[in-house]
Every structure is written in structure tokens, then in C-alpha cells.
Amino acid sequence: MADPKVSSLSSFVWSIADILRGDFKQSEYGKVVLPFVVLRRLDCILTASKQAVLDAESSLPDGVDDATRDMVLFGAVGGDVKVYNLSRFTFDTLKGQDAGQLHENLIDYVTNFSSNVRDIFLDKFLFTDQLKRLKEGGILWNVFERFTEIDLHPDTVSNIEMGYLFEELIRRFSEISNETAGEHFTPREVIRLIVDLMIANDDAKLTGRGIIRQVYDPACGTGGMLALTEEALKDFNPSIRVELFGQELNGESYGICKSDMLVTGHDPEQIAYGNTLTQDAHAAKHFHYMLSNPPYGVDWKKYAETIKDEAAEMGHEGRFGAGLPRISDGQLLFLQHMIAKMRDDEAGSRIGIVMNGSPLFTGGAGSGESEIRRWMLENDWVETIVALPTDLFYNTGIQTYVWLLTNRKPAARQGKVQLIDASGETFWKSMRKSLGSKRREIPDEARDEIVRIYSSFADADEEVSKVFDTTDFGYREVRVERPLKLNFQASDERIAGLADEKAFMKLGEHERDAIEAALHAMPDELITNRTRFDDGLTQTFKAAGIKIGAPVKKAIMSALSERDEDADICTDKKGSAEADSDLRDHELVPLGEDWQEYVAREVSPFVPDAWVDETHRDASDGEVGRVGYEINFNRYFYKYVPPRPLEEIDAELKSLEAEIAGLLKEVAA
């Protein structure tokens, strides 16, 4: 944590958790401390207007409706704050009360918040349950008294600093309870990079007065991405109006985010609780900017039925018409959801999302992942993908990638995709102290350099930036078949293999014995023509008076055959060569190349008897070969490092041997 103030606050609040030791499990510390931090923050904000609110409430006429009451009391609080408290208590006055009454007084204080906050404490934080446990453990006063020592007024701790504080606490609590901190928040330097990239080329659109921008995060956590996007937009144009929207599944994170919206003047109802993928709370909305860090590698099995039903019923009119990724990873579901919310107007929309490497290349042609990539690239929405350094996140050291998408590409970028490899040493620095798995960070100057490379949109920085046509990532998966060649022999060994064939095993013992006896009577010679052997088999069974069905005959032919490159080609009833499924292969033909020319050059010279199965066609365009898309960063940015000369390696080995021998001599002495 770079900010000394936030570090100091975090350490102090963290020390309060020690009081809980013994009465609460470590995994439960956050359920007490986080709502207390929110409560103290609200108390610091509302104390100055406490009497004005109470006076305004007492002057309201009987029977006034809730909307009018809220409007009057929000006005009494003043500023942009959309919360009030009608209890006579504050933290300061509670401290002066009888310690034995603290639990009852705190319940009065919490339940007298305006309904938008009261619901957070009662339904999401379940705070009254925690207060009861603190009372029963005899530590309620100790915890409360320590929180009164913290000044969390916005004049002392800004909204951005509060965001840092919440995220640092969540990281610590998640770490000690082995939970996934990365599901709650993203490192701030990564968010700033995404935001800077999203608005880098929007200068003209954001300049002037009367500008309104709506920002959305479908997995908003504590609201860090939303807050930093607003900060960046306001820094660029102080007169811009920023409306924030989000949805969050984790109750505690939702409570923190909604509380932040309440005290910063945003509409708290625009932050929804629930599962974005199954209960889209903003179904009718479209947004200018969307950004997210969806959970990596988290399966969607629990709600798969709902998603599959939407995909089947609504197709491209819904959110998941392009395809469904494998059940073990739902990242591309979030991305499709965001694309469905792009604005279809002159301003258009821009999306920034950070994901791991799986969405780039997982799944072959025709798979859900490949079809989603195809849909995005063929619609020309993908603008840039940036490979980030490893070890940036608190809960994982894996490589991550920032995707930038838009439905309003400038003319120069149309039909193009820029790949930026910002994973090298020039784009990160080591942290003095690791935070979980986070050992590196992106410094400001490196972030500025990435944004400059993106804005330049050129191959001038070809070591780290390359521009491709969207079709460069596509291919046709052409199925290549080779003929089936088998030899046949009615040998004792092969006849014994019949016992493993299911169709043969289903026969009665008498039938099996008769068939085996007839086969043993056949000449024990190697036959390299299937038709010839088949004719001989038919005559043998006819002479023996044995009638067999097609499944049994197939089992016999299978048991008595072996693949043989020197055998004749097996043919079907029409005389066409039969394909050997074990030799089947697939060639990935670049989209820009004719598959026939490719096969003539890359396949036929090496396997002259191979042919292309022209019935293997793409479901969308009907052409030969299924279309697939993948984006392989390693292929485009691989740098060959030649091995060291053998002489150098040999010299090093001899030096090490001499050193070891010297050490052994010292030990022996």
C-alpha cells in the first residue's frame, strides 16, 4: 500500500481484529470489522448535521409519504449525501452512555438509518447478529471504543483512500481465511491502466459542457473500478456528469459499494445485488464505458440451466447467442453480457476487461469459446489486447490480459487488432514487500508508456506492439482422411480376441462355439484384401450352416484384422475408399488462403493417398472446413534465445566439478 495514511489506518483497524480472537473464527473477522468501518464512516459524515436532521424530522406533518420524508431529510444533511440517521445517538454520545446499554443503543442507532442504509446493515452485513455475538462474548465495548478513535470524515480520509482501505482490509481477511481476494477487487494500478486506455482517444467526445457518461461494472465488488473511472473523467473534464452502475453478488462487497455511492452523491439504486449472469438488474440499460475483472476459472454449473435457456430461446437477441464457454470458466459470459449493453448511437461504447489467458485460445474450431471470439472479431469489436506482467494480483501470479473493445472504431483501426506485450521487465517493478501473490506493480511511467504505444497504433514499437487484420486470427479446420488398409487372418491368436467383442459376447455359448469352430477351419493365411476375406468368411459360414447378424459379423472382421500399410485399400459398396478414423487429421488453413491450394502444398506431397472430407463444413457459412479463431501471444512475440555454446557449458561443468572435489577434500580432511 503506497499511501502512508491508508497503511496506518489499515494497520490500526487490523489491530482491532485481534480483540475478536477466540470469540470469532479468523474467517469471520471481516463480518465484524468491515461493517463497523462503514458505520464509523457514516457517523463521521452525519454527526455535523445530526441536530438539523432531528429538527427537520420533528417538523414534518403527520402522514407524510416516505419519498417526501427522504427528500426533506437528505436536504437537512446537505451536500450530495443520500443517507440520514434519526437516532439521537452518535459514536461520541454512545461512548458517554452506560457500557451495559451499548448493545441496545447501537441497535437503536443502526435501525434508525434511512431505509437505503438500514437494509445494508440488516440484510447484507447481518450486523445485528454480529453485535449480539460481540455482546455475548463480552467484547462489544472494547471493539466499539477502538473504532471511536478513528477519524473517517471525508475531510480526513477521501473517498479514494476509503476505497484503498476497504480493499486492503478485504485482502487481509481473505488471506487469513484462504478465500479469493481477487474476486473482490483489482490492484489500483491495473484499474488506472484500463481506464486510461478506455478514454485515451476520447478527448473530443469528452470535451465541453453538458457531457454525461454512464459507467458500468457487472462484477463491481467494492466499486473500485467505478470510482477510479469517475475520478479520471472528472480530472479530464470537471464539468462532466458521471453516472455509475454496477451489480455485485458478494453481500459484503455490495454493502460497501452501495454505502460509497450513498455518501458520494450517486444514486445507490444503480448498484444492484445479485448474479449478473442470471438476474441482470440493468436489462434495459446501455452504457458509454464498461469495465470489469470477472472471476477467473470459476464454473457456472450452479446456474447453467438459466444461461442455456436464455441462449436457446433468445439467440443473438439475448446476451449469449454467440456461444457458451466450457462450464468450468465463465469469463466470456461476462464479456458477452457487456457487449450486449453497448450503445447503438454516435458515441458508442468502450469496454475494458481483464481476464486470464484462457479466453484467448481455449477451445478449437466450432467450440463455444472459438465461436465467441469469431463473433467479436467478425463484428470488428476487438480493438486492442494488452498482455500484463505476472504477479500483479493479490491472489494469483498468473498472466492476465486487458481486452479493449468498442463498436465505434476510428477509420484507421477498422478491421485491425493491436496486440501489446507489456509483460516485459520495462513495464513493472518489484514491490519492497509482497502482498499475498502480488510481488510486482506497474509504475506510473510504465502505464503512461503502454497508453502511448496504444495511442500511436503503429508497428514502430514492434518489439512490444503488433497490428493484425482481424482475419489473421482465423482459420479453417479442414478434415484430412487417409484410406483404411487392413490385413485379415483366421489365426488362433486373432480368433481368441473375439472374446473381447461385445456383440460376440452377447451370443449363447453354443453359437459362440460353432462360430469359433468354423473360423478355426478356415485356412490360416494372411489376406490383404478385405473383399476377398469377406467372401471366404461368407462361404465358410454358409457351408457350416451358420447365420450371423451384421453386428456379429462386424465384431468378427474387427477381431481378425490388423492395420497394414501394404494391404489393399478397403472400399465401401460404391467402390470409394473408406477412411481410417485412427489416421484422421485436421489441418488449420489460414482464412485468407484457399484450402485446396494449402492441401496441395502442405499435405499431398507427404501423404499422396490423403483426401479432404468435404462433408466436414462450417455451420455458419456452409464452406468446407469449420472456422475457428484463436489469439496466440507467444506465436507473435516469441523471441528465440540460442543455447549457450557447448564449450562454455563444458567449461562451467568442469569448474563445478573442481569446486565440488575441493569441498569434498576439505570434508574428508
CATH number, position 8: 1.20.1260
Which residue, 563, 584, 605, sits at the end of a domain?
A: 563
- CA-to-CA separations, 119 to 71, 112, 147, 266, 273, in angstroms, rounded: 18, 11, 22, 17, 12
Query: Residues for the chain: how many in total?
Result: 669
Q: 436 and 331 share a domain?
A: yes
Q: Which three cell numbers stand for residue 361?
A: 485460445
Task: Give the domain CATH number at 349.
Answer: 3.40.50.150
| 528 and 450 together in one domain | no
Determine the pLDDT at residue 173: 79
Measured in degrees and rounded to the nearest 5, phi and psi for residue 206 equal: -100, 0
- Give the 3-state secondary structure of residue 459: helix
* Residue 169 sits in the same domain as residue 185: no
Residue/partner pairs of 582-587 with CB below 8 Å, 24 or more apart: 583/481, 583/482, 584/479, 584/480, 584/481, 584/482, 585/479, 585/480, 585/482, 586/477, 586/478, 586/479, 586/480, 587/477, 587/478, 587/480
CA 117, CA 398: separation in Å to the nearest integer? 38
* In a domain? residue 580: no
DSSP 571: B
pLDDT tens digit string along 227-269? 999 999 999 999 999 999 999 998 888 998 998 888 888 888 9
Same domain, 156 and 227: no
- Is 83 a domain residue? yes
Q: Are 456 and 520 part of one and the same domain?
A: no
Q: 387-412 as b/e, with b when 16 or more CB fall inside 10 Å?
A: bbbbbbbbbbeeebbbbbbbbbbeee
Judge if 348 and 366 occupy the same domain: yes
In a domain, 648, yes or no: no
- Residue 611: strand pairing partners: 481
Domain boundary among 129, 150, 176: 176
How many domains is the chain partitioned into structurally?
Answer: 3
What predicted TM-score, i.e. pTM, was given to this entire model? 0.85
Mean pLDDT per 10-residue segment, the chain (669 residues): 74 90 88 93 94 94 90 91 93 89 95 92 93 94 94 90 84 66 69 95 87 95 91 93 94 88 86 95 95 88 94 94 94 96 93 95 94 97 96 86 96 95 93 85 95 84 89 97 96 93 92 94 94 94 92 94 95 92 96 95 95 95 96 87 86 91 83
Residues 498, 392 within the same domain: no
Look at residue 33 and tell me if it is in a domain.
yes
pLDDT at 77: 93
Q: What is the pLDDT of residue 244?
A: 96
pLDDT value for 1 = 43
In a domain, 570, yes or no: no
Of the candidates 418, 415, 413, 389, which has an alpha carbon nearest to the alpha carbon of residue 401? 389
Residue 157 lies in a domain: yes
614 within domain boundaries: no
Contact present, 363 and 369 (Cβ < 8 Å): yes
138 in the same domain as 104: yes
Specify the pLDDT at position 396: 81
Could you give the CA distance from residue 2 to residue 447 in angstroms, rounded to a whole number? 16
Residues 124 and 206 reside in one and the same domain: no
Burial class for 67, CB neighbours closer than 10 Å (0-12, 13-18, 19+): exposed
Residue 533 lies in a domain: yes
Domain's final residue, options 176, 211, 239: 176
Residues 85 and 169 placed together within one structural domain of the fold: yes
CA distances from 106 to 94, 141, 262 (A): 8, 11, 21
- Domain that includes residue 141, residue range: 4-176
Co-location of 343 and 428 in the same domain? yes
Are residues 144 and 289 both part of a single domain?
A: no
